[in-house]
Amino acid sequence: MKFSFLSRLALVAPAFAIFAAGPGPDVPLGLLPIRFPKENPYTPEKSELGRLLYYDKRLGADGTVSCATCHAPENAFTDNKPVSSGIKGQKGGRSAPTIFNRAYSLAQFWDGRAATLEEQAGGPMQNPIEMGNTHELVVKTLKSIPGYRARFKQVFGTEEFGIDEVTKAIATYERTVLSGNSPYDRYKAGNKTAMTASQIRGFDVYFNKAKCDQCHEGINLTANSYHNIGVGTDKPNPDEGRSAVTKNPADWGAFKTPTLREIARTAPYMHDGSIATLEEVVDYYDKGGVANKNLDEKIKPLKLSATEKKDLVEFMKALNGEGWQAKLVAPKVFPK
Catalytic residues: 130
CA-nearest of 66, 69, 71 to 133 is 66
54 class by beta-carbon count within 10 Å (0-12 exposed, 13-18 middle, 19+ buried): buried
| CA–CA distance, 25 with 93 (Å, rounded to integer) | 34
Q: Which residues of 119-156 are buried (b: 16+ CB within 10 A; e: fewer)?
A: bbbbebbbeeebbbbeeeebbebbeebeebbebbeebb
Which residues are CB-neighbours of 85 under 8 A, at least 6 positions away? 70, 91, 92
| CA–CA distance, 121 with 204 (Å, rounded to integer) | 38
For residue 28, whether the previous peptide bond is cis, meaning omega lies within 30 degrees of 0, is no
* Cβ 202 vs Cβ 314: under 8 Å: yes
Residue 37: its H or E element? strand 36-37
Residue 135: its H or E element? helix 135-143
| CA–CA distance, 329 with 37 (Å, rounded to integer) | 27
CA-nearest of 104, 115, 119, 136 to 258 is 104
